[in-house]
Structure 1
Amino acid sequence: MGVVTEDKIDTVPGSSGQSEEDAPPFPSNVDDAKLVRKIDMRVMPMLFGIYLVAFLDRVNISNALTMSMPDDLNLYGNRANVALLIFYIPYIIFEIPSNVIMKKLKPHIWLSGCIIAFGIVMLGQAFVQSYGGLIATRFFLGWAESGIFPGSFYLISFWYKRAEAQKRFTIYWSSVIFAGAFGGLLASGIAKMDGMRGLENWRWIFLLEGVASILVGITALFFCADFPQQASWLTEDEKAAVIAKTRNYEDDEVKVTKSDLASFFRDPKGYLAAIMYFTIVIPIYAFAYFAPTIIKALGYGTIQTQLHSVPPFAAALGLCLVMAYFSDKYAIRYPFILFGDLLIIIGLAIMLSLHGSEHFSAEYLGICFITMGSFSAGAVIICWVLMNMQGHAERSIGSGFVIGVGNSGGIVAVFCFTKDDAPLYKRGYWILMAMALAGTVSTVAYGLVVARERRRQIQAEGKTDKEKILSL
């Protein structure tokens, strides 16, 4: 079986297949290394900050649920799971429309508006008095955040060539992991604020993080980057250099048409990519939401639970960075995704087979393996899929569709670990095992489709490029 390198044959995005030889030349007076550093400093920090606070605000409810929130809001039975679920309904529905709107309004306006709206709703969540109020705020949180994740990946894909992409996608993706780790540390401190100014400690989580989101959103209005053609901080030669090396030649005012939609949905890669991402999202969200709950079931108090939720995310961050380095170095995505799936399977096998205080270390290792495998594979999947999409039309549709379908896995994830299945959570672990196996199959299938497509394009051009297709 062939090993699939990162992408398809380079063609002009959205065109009829113009080859690399037809590309406009890279301006000779532009230092590429210096240009990349300039882009890194201008594009990545703000996007990292935006999604750090967005994901932190999305999953901070997991920390609040280990405090007095369930009693204060009467969250009996599976009400807490339903509150987690309601977030995903608007979040999924509005992802493709959000990318289209962002293209029209410009990223710095749309993304900053989304995060400011998110912060305002989060402030409201700090003062809810009932289950109904929680449901309402979770719904509007999903609506406000729907544009941030796919929109940011969509934007990043236009700034870097393929050999540079994985490191930058991973940097952005790492904001999710930082949120998981930092959320536990922050919650351990906020847990001590119970009763301050008459507010329960869980309310302080939403209040403080809501304010932080609004401040980040205001900052993003001035510092968030737009698409390369719109970047006032680049010279004309630098703009030409970015466009030349990324091969995004089309007019940035291109419209998304019905023909573009039809073309995308005729391609099986889109469906395989969505399945691949769906299967990895389920363990990602399951552990983002329930890692504190699972750890608490091992016998820890509130503060110790929050602190012990940090190391699995720290380990995941380390693995993500290592995989990003080697994935870009060898221009291969495929085996790194499969390695992540393998870690998930091993971790789940540990959690399903070992229980009790005498196996605490092994169980905690299993939690680390699942977290490491899911978050590291997720970063590579996003890069692999988006860099196989071409141009504004395909990427705006594709990123919204793949991430939208994938994020519907959050609906499954929020019901993986329910109170009636505690403390062993075997049903949840078996669901995750099924997803890991399905993810492995879809990864292999997607790789084979991309390899076949690449071979056909090479043959059509009358070339034999062994660097494009490697043999196992």
Structure 2
Amino acid sequence: MGARDSNQTSGSSHSPVEDKQQYGNNYYDPNLAHPGAEYDDDLGARCPSHTSQRRLVSKIDLRVIPVLSLMYLLAFLDRTNIANASVFGLQKDLKLTGTQYNTALTMFFIPYIVFEVPSNIILKRLKPHVWLSACMFLFGLVTICQGLVQNWSGLLATRFFLGLAETGMFPGSFYLIGMWYKRSEAQKRYSFFFGSTSLAGAFGGLLASAIGKMNGMRGYLGWRWIFILEGVLSCLISFALYFMIPDFPEEAKWLKEDERAYIKARLEKDQGRSARERRITPTDVLNCFKDYKFFLGGLMYFGLIVPAYGYAFFAPGIIKTYGYSQIGTQLHSVPPWACSFVFALIVAFFSDQFKHRFLFTLIPIAMAIAGFAILLTVHTRPHLEYAALFLVTMGTYSALPVIVCWFNLNLGGHHRRAVGTAWQVGFGNLGGIIATYAFLAKDAPHYKQGYSICIGFACLSAAACCAYAASVLVQNRNRDKTGTDLGLTEFEKTEKGDMSPDYRYLL
């Protein structure tokens, strides 16, 4: 279903002069295009040929997706490499006892959750390339410090500041991607970006198996080198990404003005006006939370974050119980992550092909539940248990990007999307705290409590997806019955975002 009523065209009630006055210097006349371009009545703008359109989208793909994917790969790597470090003796060397290791994992999520929404507001004001590259340098620096800690207190402090530095990476990237693509073409891009978490898991295992051989070099144990070298890598790459991270389409200097005009027009047709130029106010934030769908979006993500982080933080420890050596454990952690990346791209391809999200959340979640059910009930067949890890990763990490994409791209306008994306990720990461205490050392090697918790929260996510699907279906039908002629100006519709009577949600 389209985001705008077919009888409405972007800016149809205003002249370019009026729009220029209302939207400021960020307004681009949608009728700008290269010579010979044909006028598209449905889009309300002059459009390049189909070949030129494909080239333009490919140009955006090459500039936006690889850069953000690399950035988040390193962020997720620095966030979860503590699991690889644990296999090489972090807990023993720092003399951690009881649940101290779990508490250190939890410390990351406190600032990570609290500062999600403020971070997206800052990103909108400072520009993405400035804010995201600065955050990347800081989390790389903190990761280096994590490799130098001498006790539990130092580990707690570095985990706290790591969460603070990484708070804007994921919601900021998802928010930015959503402002470049139509909803029908975004899922493949989202899943490729989110797949960087799977690649980080695979790359982390390979890297840790190699770095672990540096044990004792210059007086540092292997687990310390994991943090130091991976932190240095993030710091160095952050300088390059300052010049490579894209800003919003309205500000992209690497596009021609007619290209910006076309991109803006096609996105307005699909999602409504963005209101990029207007700052987010406290009233905007409050109005967002008057929409109950915000809470459903948070629950969808929250439920699946528990198994996602449960696996990310504890997979090496689980695999180690199957009888592998330290190096063997790291190497065996790679294949499930690699398969989850490929499967996520397959799910994304068909989701975009059918322009549908709902079923592509439920099927992968069911796979993850099946994997956890095997792990919960089978304890004497290591090969089957290892195979179940593939179901867990493939299901969890292919459903998560669909959930975030579905909710994010059903939000109209910059302010609702900035707040909504940060809220969903921030609230959802409360599940990360639960995950850190789900798998306790005393429960090894069967981890029945952890697997049971993951099954329960995966079911919660599935239920929230069903409720969200029902809500958008009902609202679309109600708007079809009510009609769009409610006496609202284009500016008022822009302010409402997806709450505008013109807007139609994607199921």
Same fold (TM over 0.5): yes
Which of 373, 391, 414 does residue 369 from structure 1 map onto?
Answer: 391
Give the counterpart letter for 1:261 in structure 2: V
C-alpha distance in 1 between matches for 2:5 and 2:168: 28
Q: How many residues align?
A: 459
Q: Does 1:76 align with 2:100?
A: no
C-alpha distance in 2 between matches for 1:8 and 1:227: 20
Q: How does 1:114-129 map to 2 (within 5 A)?
A: 114-129=135-150
Q: Does 1:422 align with 2:444?
A: yes
Q: Partner residue of 2:420?
A: 398
Contact 2:106 2:436 in 1 (8 A): yes
Q: 1:29: Cα distance to partner?
A: 6.3
Q: 1:244: Cα distance to partner?
A: 1.1
Q: Partner residue of 2:186?
A: 165
Q: Partner residue of 2:249?
A: 228
C-alpha distance in 2 between matches for 1:221 and 1:285: 29
Q: 1:28: Cα distance to partner?
A: 3.8
Q: Does 1:148 align with 2:172?
A: no
Q: Does 1:133 align with 2:154?
A: yes
C-alpha distance in 1 between matches for 2:210 and 2:478: 57
Q: Does 1:272 align with 2:296?
A: yes
Contact 1:27 1:237 in 2 (8 A): no
Contact 1:9 1:468 in 2 (8 A): no
Give the counterpart letter for 1:286 in structure 2: G
Contact 1:153 1:169 in 2 (8 A): yes
| Post-superposition CA distance 1:337-384 (Å, at most 9, x none) | 00111101111111111112xx11211121111111110000110110
Q: Partner residue of 2:232?
A: 211
Q: Partner residue of 2:490?
A: none
C-alpha distance in 1 between matches for 2:115 and 2:233: 24
Contact 1:154 1:395 in 2 (8 A): yes
Using the size of structure 2 for normalisation, the TM-score is: 0.87
Q: 1:459: Cα distance to partner?
A: 2.2
SS across alignment from 1:65: helix
Q: 1:10: Cα distance to partner?
A: 6.5
C-alpha distance in 2 between matches for 1:122 and 1:349: 35
Using the size of structure 1 for normalisation, the TM-score is: 0.93
Which of 458, 462, 481 does residue 440 from structure 1 map onto?
Answer: 462
C-alpha distance in 1 between matches for 2:192 and 2:159: 27
Q: Partner residue of 2:215?
A: 194
| Post-superposition CA distance 1:294-333 (Å, at most 9, x none) | 1001111101100111111111111101001000000001
| Post-superposition CA distance 1:138-185 (Å, at most 9, x none) | 000000000111000000000001111001101110111100111011
C-alpha distance in 1 between matches for 2:83 and 2:59: 37
| Post-superposition CA distance 1:182-233 (Å, at most 9, x none) | 1011111111110111110001101110011011211111111000011001
If asked which structure has higher relative contact order (CA below 8 Å, sep 6+), I would say 1
Tell me: CA distance 1:414–1:468, structure 2 relative to 1, closer, same or farther (3 Å). closer
Tell me: CA distance 1:469–1:417, structure 2 relative to 1, closer, same or farther (3 Å). closer
Which of 89, 95, 109 does residue 110 from structure 2 map onto?
Answer: 89
Contact 2:406 2:506 in 1 (8 A): no
Give the unaligned 5+ runs of structure 1.
none
C-alpha distance in 2 between matches for 1:275 and 1:141: 25
Q: Partner residue of 2:34?
A: none
Q: Partner residue of 2:65?
A: 44
Which of 377, 390, 403 does residue 381 from structure 1 map onto?
Answer: 403
Tell me: CA distance 1:333–1:118, structure 2 relative to 1, closer, same or farther (3 Å). same
Q: How does 1:203-352 map to 2 (within 5 A)?
A: 203-247=224-268, 249-352=273-376
Q: Does 1:27 align with 2:47?
A: yes
Tell me: CA distance 1:26–1:111, structure 2 relative to 1, closer, same or farther (3 Å). farther
SS across alignment from 1:414: helix
Q: Partner residue of 2:22?
A: none
C-alpha distance in 1 between matches for 2:466 and 2:407: 13
Contact 1:269 1:446 in 2 (8 A): yes
SS across alignment from 2:360: helix
C-alpha distance in 1 between matches for 2:4 and 2:276: 22
Q: 1:22: Cα distance to partner?
A: 8.4
Give the counterpart letter for 2:446 in structure 1: L
Contact 1:27 1:240 in 2 (8 A): no
Contact 2:297 2:468 in 1 (8 A): yes
Give the counterpart letter for 1:64 in structure 2: A
Give the counterpart letter for 2:458 in structure 1: A
The structure number with the bigger radius of gyration is 2
- Report which stretch shifted further, 26-35 or 257-266: 26-35
Q: Does 1:112 align with 2:136?
A: no
Contact 1:333 1:380 in 2 (8 A): yes
- Report which stretch shifted further, 248-257 or 149-158: 248-257
C-alpha distance in 1 between matches for 2:274 and 2:386: 50
C-alpha distance in 1 between matches for 2:53 and 2:204: 37
SS across alignment from 2:379: coil
**Percent same amino acid among aligned pairs?**
46
Give the counterpart letter for 2:71 in structure 1: I
Q: Please identify runs of 4+ aligned residues in structure 1 that moved more than 6 A.
A: 467-470
Q: How does 1:4-19 map to 2 (within 5 A)?
A: none
Q: Does 1:457 align with 2:479?
A: yes
Give the counterpart letter for 2:299 in structure 1: I
Q: 1:9: Cα distance to partner?
A: 5.1
Contact 2:84 2:208 in 1 (8 A): yes
C-alpha distance in 1 between matches for 2:422 and 2:151: 33
Contact 1:8 1:454 in 2 (8 A): no
C-alpha distance in 1 between matches for 2:450 and 2:227: 27
C-alpha distance in 2 between matches for 1:184 and 1:104: 37
Give the unaligned 5+ runs of structure 2.
15-39, 486-503
C-alpha distance in 2 between matches for 1:454 and 1:218: 45
**Aligned-pair Cα RMSD in Å:** 2.4
